[in-house]
Amino acid sequence: MSTGLPVSRPAPGLPGEPSGSPGSGVRAPRRAPRRRILAATLALCGVLVMLYPPAASWWAESTAAGRLAVHAEQNRSLDPAARSALLTAAEDYNATRVTGLVVDPFSNVEGADAHGIDDDARDYLAQLAHDPEGIMARVRVPGIDVDLPVYHGATEETLRRGSGHLYGSSLPVGGPGTHAVLTGHSGLPEAKLFTAVHDLRAGDDVFIDVLDRTLAYRVTGAEVVEPTDVAGLAVRPGEDLLTLVTCTPIGVNSHRLIVHAERVDLPDGGAPPEPSRPFPWWAVLAVVAVLAWAATVLAPAGQPRRH
């Protein structure tokens, strides 16, 4: 029932009136742009995922380069007589202890590495063992940007850090009647390692640095074999050979790629110069992506619009 008294009604658009109420003439400010934040975050995650392989590879190569620099300094600091003794011992080992009986380095069976310790394994691990990090040599393939430390044996731990020297093959010090076999992983997302070995062709050069000695080998060919086929790793009388072994096809790893090389004289210019480290452009892209994400997420939602 009406009281007859006038009813006070607030005028539309007065201060304090809930924004966006009927008749206010103002659209309510938009809420936090959740879709925009989600889209920006997903885009950032996608960019970071794409940048992971080059970033991880750059880090692995930088770590290996640091270890090799320390190794080279230790070699230079050795007394010349000590270096000569280490090389002589390795050459004697090749002449008297190497049988050439090897197994597939990626088979994870007994005999694939030197860590089932017995007297023969102890003798092997004592060769070229002057580096506290366990580096015995260095393998460089300038044509495919491979530059890795070489460690004793072919354990999984070893092959994650660099190249492994296959136990049972000749130590990589060169000489007639020797055949050194170096192994490495291919296709790892976090490190290139021997991935580019698939691109080697006849005529490409491979260099081995051991103590104060640099050995040059030239690729003569490659073959794909079953894991159990190790005939191509045997010593050949009078020849100085080097073989690089990795799994193939990448990601399947059902066979082995074996790249053969034979000893040649060093090029006229000597050993190749030290490789330069590429600029980490992935880091720049990562910073740009993060800044773009921050600008998108932290930007104001925008001013409300009037009708």
Catalytic residues: 185, 247
Question: Could you tell me the two tokens for 15?
Answer: 């201060």
Number of alpha helices (DSSP H) and beta strands (DSSP E) in the chain:
5, 8
Tracing tokens 């950032």 back to the chain, one arrives at 44
Question: What is d(CA 147, CA 139) in angstroms, rounded to the nearest whole number?
Answer: 6
Element at 83 (helix H, strand E): helix 80-96
Residue 191, SS3 per DSSP: coil
Cβ-contact 83, 211 below 8 angstroms: yes
Q: Which residues does 85 contact at the CB level (< 8 Å), separation at least 6?
A: none
**Neighbour-count burial for 220-256, b at 16+ CB within 10 Å, e otherwise:** eebeebeeeebebbebeeeebbbbbbbbbeeeeeeeb
CA-wise closest residue to 153 among 175, 176, 185, 121:
121
